[in-house]
Amino acid sequence: MEIKKDAQVGENGAPTPEQLAAINVQARAKLTADQVYVFALRLCDDQVDRDLERFDTQALPELARLFLGKTGIVDHRWSSDAQVARIFATQVVQEDSVHYIKAWAYIRRGEQTREVISDIEAGIKKEVSVGCAMGKRVCSICGGEYGACGHQKGERYDGALCCVILREPLDAYEFSFVAVPAQCEAGVLKGMGPGRKSLKALAEEFGAQGEYRALLSLAQLGKQYQKALEDSVVRLCLTLELGAEEPVLRSILSRAAPEDLQKLKTALEARAAEVLPLAPQLPAPGRKNPVVESGFLI
Ligand SMILES: [Zn+2]
C-alpha cells in the first residue's frame, strides 16, 4: 500500500456507492446504503507513545492491510454482541512528519447500535485503542534487538532519546472504542505486542495442549457448579416466598460471585430450616398412611 497524503476526510454518515461496495466485500449479507453508518477513525501512528514505543513508519502499510475486515468493540468486552463496527477500508496518511493509519468502518443501523452511533456523532466515542502483534522490537539508538543491546527506553544517549521501534506486523486483532479519552497526543491508545495471543494459541505454540484442555474442563465444571448453586438459591428464594419472581432472581444471581452464592445459600437454608420444618416425604416404617375418605366428606 502506498503512503498517501490525506486527500479525503470522509464525512460520517451514509456510505458513498464506492464505500458501500467495499462494505459488501466484508459483510455477510448484502447491505444497502440506509442500513449502514460509516465513520472514519485514526487507528495508530508512527510517533513515540506513552510506553516509549512507536510503530515503524515502514510497517504502517502492512498493518493497515491487516486491519481490513477487523471488528471494533465497545469497552473491550470480547463477545460477538459487543462487536459493533467493521473496518472496510484503510489508508496510510501523512500529515507533516506524522504518518498514521486512517480507517473507515461501518456499523449496521439498528436498535442496539443507535446509542453507539449517536455517541460517535457527538464525538464521545472518538478515541480508540488497537490490538495487534508485531514481530520485532528494535532499539532506536543502535538498531539492535531491544532488550539485548543494553540501551534503556526513556534514557538519553548523546542527547537522543531511546525508544522501541515496532516492526514486522504479524496480525491485527481489533480496535476498541474507549470511554476515557486517550492522554497521548495522537488520541489513540495502543494495546499491542507479541503477547497479545489467546491462551489456546499459546498452549499450541508451547506444546501445552493437554494442560489447556484440562484447565478448560475444570472451567466447565466450575460453570456447572455455579449454575447448580444458582438453581438452589432460586429454589430456596421461591420456597421461602421472598416476593421476587424467578427472572428477577436469576438476573441478580447470574452476576453474583460463587462464594457469595454459597454464603447466600447457607443463610437461606438456615432460614428455611427455621420456618419450614421439613415433613418426611415417606411414611416412617410401621406407620400406616392416614386414610382420607374424602368421598364421604361433606
Ligand atoms: Zn540499543
The pLDDT of residue 291? 46
The pLDDT of residue 268? 93
- What confidence tier does 3 reach under pLDDT thresholds 50, 70, 90? very low
Give the distance (Å) from ligand 1 centre to CA of residue 93.
29
163-189 confidence digits (pLDDT tens): 999 999 998 888 877 654 333 333 333
76-114 confidence digits (pLDDT tens): 444 455 568 899 999 999 998 999 999 999 999 988 888
Q: In whole angstroms, give the CA distance from residue 160 to residue 158.
A: 6
Give the distance (Å) from ligand 1 centre to CA of residue 167.
15
The pLDDT of residue 35? 92
- What confidence tier does 119 reach under pLDDT thresholds 50, 70, 90? confident
The pLDDT of residue 197? 59
Give the distance (Å) from ligand 1 centre to CA of residue 144.
5
Give the distance (Å) from ligand 1 centre to CA of residue 153.
9
* Dihedral angle over CA of 59, 40, 19, 95, nearest 10: -50
Task: List residues, by chain if needed, whose CB lies under 5 Å from ion ligand 1.
Answer: 139, 141-142, 144, 149, 151
Question: Is beta strand 128-139 parallel, antiparallel or unpaired with respect to 188-192?
Answer: parallel
Question: Which three three-digit cell numbers place residue 235?
Answer: 429454589
As a whole-number percent, the residues of the chain with pLDDT over 90 amount to 34
Give the distance (Å) from ligand 1 centre to CA of residue 147.
8
Q: Residue 76, CB half-sphere, CA atoms under 13 Å: how many?
A: 10
Q: Which amino acid is present at 96?
A: D
User: pTM value?
Assistant: 0.56
Cβ contact 114:107 at 8 Å: no
Give the distance (Å) from ligand 1 centre to CA of residue 56.
16
Give the distance (Å) from ligand 1 centre to CA of residue 266.
60
Give the distance (Å) from ligand 1 centre to CA of residue 160.
11
Give the distance (Å) from ligand 1 centre to CA of residue 136.
13
